[in-house]
Amino acid sequence: MRKDGRHSDNVDDRRSSSGGPGGNISMGTVMMLAPLFKSLLRTKFGWTIIAVGIVAWMSGYNPLALLGIGGTAQSRPVDQAQDEKEANFMKTVLADTEDVWREILPKYGLRYTEPVMVLYRGQTRSGCGHASAQMGPFYCPLDKKVYLDLSFFDELASRHNSPGDFAQAYVLAHEIGHHIQNIQGTLEKVQNYQQMSGSEKENNSLQVRIELQADCYSGVWAHHAQRRFNILEPGDVEEALNAASSIGDDALQRKTSGYVRPDSFTHGSSAQRVEWFRKGLQSGDLRMCNTFE
């Protein structure tokens, strides 16, 4: 993928001022521990354990180290040159998303407002609360910002065997897809419904549809970016499809627990994520991304 495009100015670079205690925890670890956290939240004693853990974390100690998870409070050293190279690349990708969505969104009766990408290390604050590296990249609809700790890409390559610059571009394009959903009002409608619903299974199903639509929107972006900027190189599409597959719920659950629980999916299976990204890439049409039908 090209790296010589313009850099977006919509970047809040907090890498030198963020960082912090607690060390790094993988996406798989978070999913593995989710049932434990749910159990703790049901009792006062559980809440006490969580509170103590938070205090320990903020003090620089990783409480999960007692379970042999997440290492110590010492974070891995940052390769400054590589970190800066990846930051500049993501600024280029962000600029490409701006140019594409600014052009095509009015065709659907919508005006594109540009989100901000926050680059940070370790932890920071977002409009949606605390942000930390172990959460992975995410979009906050309240402040219209994408939060990204670049160490996620190390994990994507090493733990999930999904290296490559277009795999990284896919990740950012997916989060920008959530911004499109925010502009459309889709996020607000789904979140309102989830708050009224008492069914965890139904809420998870809706969340999967949200995530798959963002995958499709990332494919729509890639379609138009290729036509406008000729961004794709041999192997780029395969990198994105491999990344989509490697972070499917079934793949992550199988890796961390050895079995799959479809009712607990929140992002979709590997096959679903690949299917919807490919659908957006081939069509270049938002109307083909209706995951709610």
Q: What is the pLDDT of residue 47?
A: 72
Please, where are the H alpha helices in 105-248?
151-158, 165-184, 186-196, 200-229, 236-246
Tokens at residue 19, please? Answer: 């960082």
The Cα 191–Cα 251 span in angstroms is 26
Task: For the chain, list residues with pLDDT below 50.
Answer: 21-27, 29, 32, 59-61, 65-74
In a domain, 20, yes or no: no
Q: What is the pLDDT of residue 43?
A: 76
Q: Which of 43, 67, 91 is the last residue of a domain?
A: 67
Q: What is the pLDDT of residue 19?
A: 61
For residues 37 and 99, membership in a common domain is answered with no
The Cα 88–Cα 82 span in angstroms is 10
For residues 132 and 55, membership in a common domain is answered with no
For 37, the domain range is 27-67
Q: What is the pLDDT of residue 79?
A: 85
Position of tokens 């790296």?
3
In a domain, 37, yes or no: yes
Beta bridge partners of 130: 125
For residues 37 and 157, membership in a common domain is answered with no
The three-state secondary structure class of 225 is: helix
Q: What is the pLDDT of residue 74?
A: 39
**CB-based contact 164:241 (threshold 8 Å):** no
> CB within 8 A of 42, min separation 6: which ones?
none
Count structural domains, the chain: 2
In a domain, 285, yes or no: yes
The Cα 86–Cα 61 span in angstroms is 29
The Cα 206–Cα 225 span in angstroms is 29
Identify the sign of the CA torsion 129, 139, 159, 163: negative
For residues 156 and 247, membership in a common domain is answered with yes
For residues 258 and 170, membership in a common domain is answered with yes
> CB within 8 A of 26, min separation 6: which ones?
134, 155, 159
Q: What is the DSSP letter of 260?
A: -
**CB-based contact 136:7 (threshold 8 Å):** no
For residues 84 and 113, membership in a common domain is answered with yes
pTM of the model: 0.80
Cα–Cα separations (whole angstroms), residue 62 to 27, 52, 66, 241: 16, 11, 8, 34
